[in-house]
Amino acid sequence: MNSTNKLVEEIRQRFEIIDVIHPDDQQVILDIDKMHLHTLLSHLKADGFRQLSLLSAVDWIKDNIFELVYIVFNWDTGVHVLARVKLPRDNPRFRTITPIYPGAQYYERDVHEFFGIEFEGNPMSYKPLFLELWDEMPPMRKDFDPEAYSREKFPERVYVPHFVPKVEVIE
């Protein structure tokens, strides 16, 4: 826990951290205000966290927020840092992190495509990535009904039962 403790202490001194969780001795989860995320990531990158392992989103539909998740990794110490920020669910917008991690390009396109979150400053993120010719609401949003979509788009096989066994319910 030493290495991460030191890291967290240092970050706490510099940034306003809402919450810190240690799920594992090499992993740290930081909840942070969205104003400070970019400075945090720049700091972490300068500190050796050269790899952006993942950028994804979580749809907290009851709280009416989107949570963006950034995972960065330090190859020297083997520490994962997961930074979370919260966005309002209606008209979700956030600034891009491609100037810090250029590899975020495709993650941002991915998140934009599946959640509809817009990344300002990254014009490429508006291009479709995986879903060809998608015309509905972004499919990973919780209010999207995949089953209805599937029924409408992809007709299901209708089974004609040849033989229905009689089931007697024994009290």
Partner 1 sequence: MTTNAKDVRKTWEKIADYFRAHSIWMKWYCTGCGAIEMPPTMTSRFDMERLGMGPMATPRQADVLLITGYLSAKTLRRVIYSYEQMQDPKYVVGFGSCTLNGGIYFDSYATMTRLDHYLPVDLYIAGCMPRPEAIMNSFDTLIKMIEKGEAKGWKHYQENHEWYRRNQLHSLKEVYVKDEFHE
> Which residues in this chain contact partner 1 in the complex, by CB under 8 A?
127-133, 135-136, 139, 144, 146-147, 149-150, 153-157
Nearer to partner 1, 143 or 147 (CB): 147
Nearer to partner 1, 35 or 137 (CB): 137
CA dist list (Å): 165 to 94, 161, 169: 57, 10, 12
Q: Within the chain, what is the greatest distance between any pair of CA atoms? A: 72
Q: Where does the chain show beta strands of DSSP type E?
A: 17-24, 27-32, 51-60, 65-73, 80-88, 93-95, 118-120
- Minimum distance, C-beta of residue 105 to partner 1, in the bound complex (Å): 12
Nearer to partner 1, 154 or 163 (CB): 154
Nearer to partner 1, 155 or 165 (CB): 155
- Minimum distance, C-beta of residue 129 to partner 1, in the bound complex (Å): 8
Which residue type occupies 122? N
Nearer to partner 1, 158 or 170 (CB): 158
Cβ–Cβ < 8 Å for 139, 146: yes
Cβ–Cβ < 8 Å for 40, 32: yes
- Minimum distance, C-beta of residue 132 to partner 1, in the bound complex (Å): 5
**List of residues 6+ apart from 49 with CB closer than 8 A:** 72, 73, 74, 79, 81
- Minimum distance, C-beta of residue 19 to partner 1, in the bound complex (Å): 34
- The single-letter DSSP state of residue 14 is H
- Minimum distance, C-beta of residue 126 to partner 1, in the bound complex (Å): 12
